[in-house]
Structure 1
Amino acid sequence: MTYTRSLSGLCLVFLPLLSVHAADLDPVTVTGTRAPTDLSRAPLIIDIIDRDDAVLATASRVEDVLSRQPGLHVAGQGRRNGQTLSMRGFDRKGVLVRLDGVRQDISTGHIGNFFLDPALIQEVQIARGALSSLYGSNAMGGVVSFTSVDADDLLAPGEDSGVRLSVGGATASDELRGSLTTFGRRDTANGQVDGLFSVGRSESGDIRRAGGDEAEEDAALNSLLLKGGWEPSDDQRVFMSWQHYDESATQPANPQQLSTDASNPLRDRDVESNNVQLGHRWQPSGVTEITSRLTFSQQAIDEPQANRTLERVGLQSDGYHAMDHGWLSQTLVFGAELEQARQRPDGDANGFPDADIDTQSAYLDTTLTAGRYLADGGAGQFDVGLGARYDRYDASGQNDADSVHDQVSPRFRLAWRPDDALMLFSGYAEAFRAPSLSELYANERHFAGFCAGPFFCTPDNYWIPNPNLSPESSHTWESGVVWHQGDWQLRASYFDTRADDFIDTQVDIMAGTTQAVNVQRAQLWGYDARVTWQPSAFPLLTSFVGLSEVSGKDRDTGEPLGSQTPQEATLGSDIALHGGDVRLGWQARFARAFDKQGDDERLPGYGLHDVHLAWQVTPAVDTSLRLANIGDKVWYRPDGSLGDGRSLFATLNWQW
């Protein structure tokens, strides 16, 4: 893919200014800024999915929530344990996933890192771009943040308590699920208290993929969410939460593969995840907030003869403060983190060494705003943003040398607003990914030797530790525009990333070794754009278009890396009827034919169509239906994995 073609695709973004939703411009705490921000002033591409969206309201797994997001792909074959993300040319290890502020990045074999029940999620924020200056390791392609539901999200106006029964399912996986949630709040002599308790159960079978192929599985998921808070005064809140996930499944050894055979046999697998936190939020004013939390997370994978457990204990504090100096306003974002992660294998666990990593970090980011709009006689309003984060990690494995590195991740950005409706922005950011403990210290047998004939045999293959691995790093320039006028809003950006020291796994069959090494330098470039339209003459109608493309090449050889994200468009409309009690919608995703990542194979383009219906039957009863991939179109993700097939998702809620 050439620069000319990519730029021409970006130019096409500006033509449909005659076609797409004016997003809500109220301040919202944005993942990409860590502070409440008017989205028209946020210099990045971000998508927000909440519980009112039919995609999240009916979802039973992460693929259901994210699979229609432009520029983002969920690899795997629908099994929860095999779902991984790719975004802006980076795979799961270069995209940071957070659940209620805690990172989720277990790395073991072909197992994913999404251990959450979408039924417990209130909001998902997808921030694209290099964000290590705020979030540290892994945030090279962006950050995906999941926030669980709390009592305030479910309480009806004027109510102080409630119970919610939810049932649903999906035809593609023969899934039935249900949950029961109780929630409430009360004013006491010592301040307001609130709480939520939710339990859920889901059972599913083989998963139908596009075109009718099936991914064999038999799974049962139990989930639990316990949250509560106490507000001793108007400016303080103490909170706690426990989110529990426990899935038992019979599925292939590699859940990312579709078929099962002698090389990928069925096995029983139990995956358990716990995320616990205790925190305090201090908000003395609308422009100042500091949130501190003590966190514990645990992911445990239990298989016959092999167990793997990752435990993470952390202490973090994050805050923001806005100041007005008259002609100059300033927003500070700041924070610090301490964390220890421990891997503990048991039995014949492969590629998951007994190792620890300690991380210390601190960050500071400031945005300065000055100037007057052109209409007021000025040269326009300017934002200058400067920020950096310092990370130090100290990894150690049994009988192997320590791996100690520190990393500074700077970020600079400049924005110009000639008036309140238009913003042009540009910026530079550096990001990194620390090597995983498995990449640093794996030292057991990888796979058994084999004989290809009577005179040719290979030895057993063993992992070789490499504590000298350097972190992956990237340097990104990104420029874009934000425009909103009347019924319209446009957000678009173009980025160019130079990535160094990619970590790859080198297998030497004859020597009998496997080792993680720094091998590749790459260049990634592309664009993201969103256009939305909400006509004032018909405010019950909302339409949108999203465009995205990512291309890449090896900087040493000049060879293309395959289509990281093919040129694709997402578009749709949503209309509210019957006083807003009924919402009908349609969404489509189109992609051009593209080259498979790391392969000469040419994969076909595709067009997918979904429809959905949300109906508030009575004040106490509502239902959501979504029919995905109506035509059961056969389609493939950039890595070559088969996409999801036709499925009817349904949810019925009764709240009293």
Structure 2
Amino acid sequence: MKRALCCGTALALLIPSPGLLADTLPTERVETSAPLVVTGTRAPTDPARAPLILDVIDRHDPALSTAGRIEELLGDLPGLQVAGQGRRNGQTLSLRGFGRGGVLVRLDGVRQDITTGHLGNFFLDPALLREVQVARGALSSLYGGNAMGGVISFETVEAADLLRPGETRGGRLALRGASDRNELGATLSLFGRTDTTLGEADGLLALGRSKSGDIRRAGGDTAPDDASLDSLLAKGGLEIAPDQRLFASWQHYREDSTQPANPQALADNASNPLRDRRVTSDNVQLGHRWQPDVATRWETRLTFARQAIDEPTAERTQARLGLQGDGYHRLEHGWLTQTLAFGAELDRARQRPGDDASGFPEADIDTAALYLDDTLTVGRYLDSGGVGEFDLGLGARFDHYRAEDSAGRESRETQVSPRLRLAWRPLDGLMLYSGYAEAFRAPTLSELYADERHFAGFCPSPFFCFPDNFWVPNPDLRPETSRTWESGLAWQTGDWGLRASYFDTRADDFIDSEVDVLAGTTRAANVARAHLWGFDARLSWSPGPLHAQLGLAEVSGRDRDSGDPLGRLTPLEALVGLDYHFASPNLTLGWRGRFAESHDAGDARAPGYGLHDLQLAWAPNASVETSLKLRNLADKTWYRPDGSLGDGRSLLVNLSLQW
């Protein structure tokens, strides 16, 4: 009965209601006049007014335009760790002390969370992206499960991003290369818009292909790999009315590779042999957007996502079908302004193993969720005779999930994730904020129900052997949960800008694997409590054509039961950048420095490092753009906190021709 009521309420919320129209929201102009919807608020706002640390990378940044892998796109952001050895299939992310399960990854709003062994949990081609937002902090009140350390939102390019003023159609050919893996690739995009009897229609079709070989890591070590990637993006929309739009998209990814069984390991050996692997990912959505003005929007989407990992003797497939609605609305009450963000989601994910796949049980999980976030703004700045402008934010999300495997073992949980925040702006350009938020991660289907063989037994001597080791299901696993306090400031005056925050997190019921070699069992259990704390800071200076930036981050932690420090967090890291723009040739030259203190790297202690990158962006005319990036100029040997060897010296190149 409760489940039926929850689902019925969610479906009711998926039907938009006109309600009261409001005044126009202040907008942030990026490349068009459309407001920037900030991850972490789910509403359009000036990022400088958002009470969180937010990193935004757009397609004109050489970090995105030259990237062929997520490591090259996000690996330089302070506090964000990319695990693996450069192979796409081994990419996982960690943020603010939380690993792959505690960082939510979204691609055009669709959750990416397949989990199996040492393989990654998202697969995408950076050549198809127009923007990436990295929002740090506990955000389950808006996004539900996995958003404990933050949310990373990838948005693919649209026709409007490529069409120049006055154009109705065009094409773009982007060529790219990377010297560290002898990669060559190309992406062809065709796009346009036209008037029809039903309204203005637009569309984009992009096809990508790349081929790469063994990956050279820092210091000259090699990660064996032989990969080819095919990608496709088809997007279109129809303006059926001035305030209504229908849209559809299909994003396809397919990589065929020969690589070690564990793609996060550097080399192949007897226990980690090379194998052929095909990974495919499809994300499809149909949607409707109602937006009478920039103060009000409601968007409904039907989504389907499918990821499949095929090997000679094992197949793993996850399919996810979802219906979701999200909206925002601003109300003016005279002396009080109210901004609402709200939504509902229904979702079913299905895992299906094939052949000898292990650790990936046949199971389903159904999720239903409702959320509401209300921001109240009142007051006047000090220089206007007031005591400052205040924001009070109150929000909560209700999640219910029900998981069941093929043997009928069932797990049900409900989770409420509240969020409270207060911001004070004594002057325009200065904000102090503080807040409290709770977040969670639901157990994966593998953690709940895996019962296959984990690894084969072995004989350390002629007289004694260990038995085969099997997973033991644990359908009673509780979700991981966290409670976070975060306080910070944002300051902007003239050419200077500063944003910084400090956070303190208490996490409970961490899920870990308990391996009993003698008994031959492996079981997932809630075993740990942790205390995590740290800070993020961003400083910028932009006098005229010069832009300088400094980013700092550090995460520390300890086990709350034993008091022992936790490994694999984030050492003190700094990103220093300097760019100079020459207006007449439309040329930007830049330098990036990446620095970190000595830190634990897996089971060893790694020395600190200082890395230097050079980059160039040049657009000699409206039809030609080129970007170059030389990473790790001195080929410094360095290690990430998970113990993986960092990227080596590499020249990344992108050349785009548009007509």
Q: TM-score when scaled to structure 2?
A: 0.94
Q: Aligned match of 1:568 in 573, 584, 588?
A: 573
Q: Which residue of 2 aligns with 1:478?
A: 486
Once the two structures are superposed, residues 332-382 of structure 1 have per-residue CA deviations (whole angstroms, 9 ceiling, x without a partner) of 000000000000000000100000000000000000011111122221111
Q: Which residue of 1 aligns with 2:453?
A: 445
* Structure 1, 539-548 or 269-278: larger mean CA deviation: 539-548
| 2:144 partner amino acid | G
2:247 corresponds to 1:244: no
| 1:319 partner amino acid | G
2:176 corresponds to 1:168: yes
After superposition, residues 341-420 of structure 1 pair within 5 angstroms as 341-420=349-428
2:79 corresponds to 1:79: no
Q: Which residue of 1 aligns with 2:648?
A: 645
Q: Is the CA contact 2:601–2:639 (under 8 Å) kept in the aligned structure 1?
A: no
Per the TM alignment, residue 401 of structure 1 is displaced from its structure 2 partner at its CA by 2.0
Q: Is the CA contact 1:133–1:430 (under 8 Å) kept in the aligned structure 2?
A: yes
Q: Which residue of 1 aligns with 2:4?
A: none
2:559 corresponds to 1:554: yes
| 2:553 partner amino acid | S
Q: Which residue of 2 aligns with 1:20?
A: none
Once the two structures are superposed, residues 149-193 of structure 1 have per-residue CA deviations (whole angstroms, 9 ceiling, x without a partner) of 010111122211001111111000110001111000112232110
- Secondary structure of the corresponding residue to residue 438 of structure 1: helix
| 1:643 partner amino acid | G
CA–CA separation in structure 2 for the residues paired with 1:128 and 1:270: 32
Q: Which residue of 2 aligns with 1:18?
A: none
Q: Is the CA contact 1:450–1:458 (under 8 Å) kept in the aligned structure 2?
A: yes
| Closer, same or farther: CA 210–412 of 1 in aligned 2, 3 Å | same
| 1:581 partner amino acid | N
| Closer, same or farther: CA 435–298 of 1 in aligned 2, 3 Å | same
- Secondary structure of the corresponding residue to residue 383 of structure 2: helix
Per the TM alignment, residue 580 of structure 1 is displaced from its structure 2 partner at its CA by 5.7
Q: Is the CA contact 1:440–1:469 (under 8 Å) kept in the aligned structure 2?
A: yes
2:623 corresponds to 1:620: yes
Q: Which residue of 2 aligns with 1:233?
A: 241
* Structure 1, 512-521 or 539-548: larger mean CA deviation: 539-548
CA–CA separation in structure 1 for the residues paired with 2:524 and 2:392: 40
Per the TM alignment, residue 24 of structure 1 is displaced from its structure 2 partner at its CA by 7.7
Per the TM alignment, residue 619 of structure 1 is displaced from its structure 2 partner at its CA by 2.4
CA–CA separation in structure 2 for the residues paired with 1:515 and 1:216: 32
After superposition, residues 50-449 of structure 1 pair within 5 angstroms as 50-449=58-457
After superposition, residues 519-598 of structure 1 pair within 5 angstroms as 519-535=527-543, 539-562=544-567, 564-579=569-584, 581-596=586-601
Once the two structures are superposed, residues 50-97 of structure 1 have per-residue CA deviations (whole angstroms, 9 ceiling, x without a partner) of 001001001111111001001101000000000100100000110000
Once the two structures are superposed, residues 511-546 of structure 1 have per-residue CA deviations (whole angstroms, 9 ceiling, x without a partner) of 0001100000000000000011111xxx22111100
Q: Is the CA contact 1:62–1:114 (under 8 Å) kept in the aligned structure 2?
A: no
- Secondary structure of the corresponding residue to residue 142 of structure 2: helix
Once the two structures are superposed, residues 391-441 of structure 1 have per-residue CA deviations (whole angstroms, 9 ceiling, x without a partner) of 000000121420000000000000011111210000000000000000000
CA–CA separation in structure 1 for the residues paired with 2:143 and 2:568: 27
Q: Which residue of 2 aligns with 1:6?
A: none
Question: Aligned pair count?
Answer: 629
| 2:547 partner amino acid | T
Q: Equivalent pairs: percent with the same residue? A: 66
Q: Is the CA contact 1:235–1:284 (under 8 Å) kept in the aligned structure 2?
A: yes
2:633 corresponds to 1:630: yes
CA–CA separation in structure 1 for the residues paired with 2:243 and 2:578: 40
CA–CA separation in structure 2 for the residues paired with 1:118 and 1:463: 36
After superposition, residues 463-474 of structure 1 pair within 5 angstroms as 463-474=471-482
Once the two structures are superposed, residues 176-234 of structure 1 have per-residue CA deviations (whole angstroms, 9 ceiling, x without a partner) of 00111100011223211000001110000000000000000100000000000000121
Q: Is the CA contact 2:432–2:490 (under 8 Å) kept in the aligned structure 1?
A: yes
Once the two structures are superposed, residues 261-308 of structure 1 have per-residue CA deviations (whole angstroms, 9 ceiling, x without a partner) of 000000000000000000001001210000110000000000011000
CA–CA separation in structure 1 for the residues paired with 2:371 and 2:411: 22
Per the TM alignment, residue 482 of structure 1 is displaced from its structure 2 partner at its CA by 0.5
Q: Is the CA contact 2:172–2:656 (under 8 Å) kept in the aligned structure 1?
A: yes
RMSD over equivalenced CA pairs, Å: 1.1
| 1:465 partner amino acid | P
CA–CA separation in structure 1 for the residues paired with 2:303 and 2:345: 11
Q: Which residue of 2 aligns with 1:501?
A: 509
CA–CA separation in structure 2 for the residues paired with 1:318 and 1:84: 27
- Secondary structure of the corresponding residue to residue 81 of structure 1: helix
Q: Which residue of 1 aligns with 2:605?
A: 602
- Secondary structure of the corresponding residue to residue 180 of structure 2: coil
Where in structure 1 do 4 or more consecutive aligned residues deviate above 6 Å? 23-26
- Secondary structure of the corresponding residue to residue 172 of structure 1: helix
- Secondary structure of the corresponding residue to residue 181 of structure 2: coil
CA–CA separation in structure 1 for the residues paired with 2:219 and 2:133: 31
Q: Which residue of 2 aligns with 1:48?
A: 56
Q: Which residue of 2 aligns with 1:10?
A: none
CA–CA separation in structure 1 for the residues paired with 2:254 and 2:521: 35
CA–CA separation in structure 2 for the residues paired with 1:292 and 1:178: 34
* Structure 1, 391-400 or 332-341: larger mean CA deviation: 391-400
Per the TM alignment, residue 563 of structure 1 is displaced from its structure 2 partner at its CA by 5.3
| 2:435 partner amino acid | G
Q: Is the CA contact 2:29–2:36 (under 8 Å) kept in the aligned structure 1?
A: no
Q: Is the CA contact 2:483–2:506 (under 8 Å) kept in the aligned structure 1?
A: yes
Once the two structures are superposed, residues 530-587 of structure 1 have per-residue CA deviations (whole angstroms, 9 ceiling, x without a partner) of 011111xxx2211110000000000000000025100011011111114261111111
Q: Which runs of 5+ in 2 are unaligned?
A: 1-27
- Secondary structure of the corresponding residue to residue 452 of structure 1: strand
| 1:547 partner amino acid | L
CA–CA separation in structure 1 for the residues paired with 2:482 and 2:408: 28
Q: Is the CA contact 1:400–1:467 (under 8 Å) kept in the aligned structure 2?
A: no
- Secondary structure of the corresponding residue to residue 635 of structure 2: coil
CA–CA separation in structure 2 for the residues paired with 1:40 and 1:179: 34
Q: Is the CA contact 1:552–1:563 (under 8 Å) kept in the aligned structure 2?
A: no
| Closer, same or farther: CA 595–40 of 1 in aligned 2, 3 Å | same
